[in-house]
Homo-oligomer: A and B are copies of this chain.
Amino acid sequence: MPKPSARTGRVTIVDVAQHAEVSTTAVSKVVRNAYGASPEMQAKVRKAIAELGYRPHAAARGLRGQTYSIGVMLPNIRNPFFADIIDGATEVLEDAGYQVLMGPGCNGEAEEARVTETMIDHSMDGVILIAPVSSRQHLEHVARSVPTVIVGRHGRSSSYDSVADDDLSGAALVVNHLADLGHRRIAHIEHLETDPDHIVEMPNAVRADGYRQAMRARRLDEHIDVASTTYTQEGGYLGAQQLLARLHQPTAIFAGADIVAMGALEAIAEAGLTVPGDIAVAGYDNTMFAGFAPVSLTTVDQRGRQMGSTAARLVLDRIAQPRRPASHMKLAPTLIARRTTAVLPH
C-alpha cells in the first residue's frame, strides 16, 4: 500500500527507501546506476520503485546534480527542416536516458536570450541551439554556463561544439546541376546580412558565397546576379520579381531556402511564366513540402536527422568530459533533383 508524501502526492525517494527498508542514499545510487550498491540492494530498490511508481523529480535533482534533461532551441517551428534535426537529436538523447525540452520558436536575439536563460534556469544539463542568430558573445556566455552545441552555423569557438552543413558545397551542387542542364544566367536570392559575424558564420551567407565561387569556377562570372531579400516566402516573392525585371532575365533561380523558392514560384506564376520551361527553380533544405507532387522542387538535402544525432552525441560527450577540446563537424549535403529543374520534353 503506497504511502506517498502528504503534501504534493508525489512519491519521493524517502517513500521508496522506507518501502525497501534501505537508506535514501542507496535509492539514489540505484537510480543513477552509481557505484556502491550490491546486486541484492539493487533488486530490492528496483522492486520498490516499480511498486510505488517512483519517478525522480528533475527540478529537485537540478539543485544538486544533473537533471538528465537537455534543452533544444530552434528558431522557427514552421521550417520542417528543423523537425528532422529535432528527431535525430531526440532519438539519441532519449535512448541515453535524457529528457528533451524545447524552447518555443524564437526569432531575434532578445527571444533567443530568453529561451537560453530559461533553459539554464531549469538546470538543463546541456543545450543544443539550432541556427541561432545571437552574437558570438552571447553564445559563449551560454556555453560558459552549460555544455552547448551549435547547429547550422559556421563560426568555430573553443567554448562550444558545432555541427554544420557544408553550405559551400551545397551551393556548388545547385549551380553545377543547373549549369549541366545548360543554364548560364543562373541567379541567386540571398538573405541580406549586414552583421559582420553573421557574414562569416550564417548558412545563408555561406550559400551566397558558395554560389559566387561556383559560378566563377564554371566561368560564369559575368552572369552572377543576386537579389538580396530575406529567407521568407515574401523574400522569395520580392527577390524573384526583382530578377524577372532584369534586362537579361535569368533562366534559372537558385533560392537560398525552400521557403524562398515557394515565394519565387508565386512571382513566376504571376508573371505568366512556366517552370521549368521558361525558368528553372531550385531551393535548399529539402523540406517536406519540396517533395509534394504539385511542388516537386529541386533542392539540397542537409541530412537534418544526422545533424541532430551528431549534435546530441556531442552534447552528451561534453557533459561527460567538460574540458575536452571543442569539435566542429561539417556534414556533406546532397542534391535532390526534381521537376522544377527538369529538362522539358519539347
* Interface flag for A180 (CB, 8 Å): no
CB distance from A298 to the nearest CB of B (A): 13
> In the bound complex, how far is the Cα of B289 from the Cα of A217, in angstroms?
36
> In the bound complex, how far is the Cα of B10 from the Cα of A121, in angstroms?
10
The contact string, 1 if C-beta is below 8 Å from chain B, for chain A 232-265, is 0100000000000000000000000000001001
A-B contact pairs, 14 of them (CB 8 A): A10-B145, A58-B59, A58-B118, A59-B63, A59-B122, A60-B63, A69-B118, A80-B80, A83-B105, A86-B105, A99-B114, A102-B102, A269-B294, A294-B295
Residue contact B121 to A55, C-beta cutoff 8 Å: yes
Residue contact B294 to A265, C-beta cutoff 8 Å: yes
CB distance from A14 to the nearest CB of B (A): 14
Copies in the complex: 2
CB distance from A52 to the nearest CB of B (A): 15
* Interface flag for A82 (CB, 8 Å): yes
Contact partners of A323 in chain B: CB under 8 A: none
The contact string, 1 if C-beta is below 8 Å from chain B, for chain A 61-76, is 0110001010110000
Contact partners of A288 in chain B: CB under 8 A: 78, 289
* Interface flag for A277 (CB, 8 Å): no
Contact partners of A63 in chain B: CB under 8 A: 59-60, 63
Residue contact B77 to A67, C-beta cutoff 8 Å: no
The contact string, 1 if C-beta is below 8 Å from chain B, for chain A 95-116, is 0000111111100000000100
> In the bound complex, how far is the Cα of B233 from the Cα of A10, in angstroms?
42
> In the bound complex, how far is the Cα of B148 from the Cα of A260, in angstroms?
38
* Interface flag for A229 (CB, 8 Å): no
* Interface flag for A292 (CB, 8 Å): yes
CB distance from A130 to the nearest CB of B (A): 12
* Interface flag for A90 (CB, 8 Å): yes
* Interface flag for A9 (CB, 8 Å): yes
Residue contact B72 to A104, C-beta cutoff 8 Å: yes
Report which of B83, B94, B121 forms a contact with A77, defined as CB distance below 8 A: B83
> In the bound complex, how far is the Cα of B233 from the Cα of A86, in angstroms?
20
Report which of B10, B83, B103, B104 forms a contact with A78, defined as CB distance below 8 A: B83
CB distance from A128 to the nearest CB of B (A): 11
> In the bound complex, how far is the Cα of B114 from the Cα of A105, in angstroms?
22
5 A-B pairs with least C-beta separation = A59-B62, A266-B293, A58-B121, A59-B123, A77-B83
* Interface flag for A317 (CB, 8 Å): no
Residue contact A123 to B294, C-beta cutoff 8 Å: no
Residue contact A55 to B117, C-beta cutoff 8 Å: yes
Residue contact A121 to B269, C-beta cutoff 8 Å: no
Query: Considering residues A58, A72, A87, A104, which has the most beta carbons from chain B within 10 angstroms of its beta carbon?
Result: A104
* Interface flag for A57 (CB, 8 Å): yes
Residue contact A104 to B102, C-beta cutoff 8 Å: yes
* Interface flag for A322 (CB, 8 Å): no
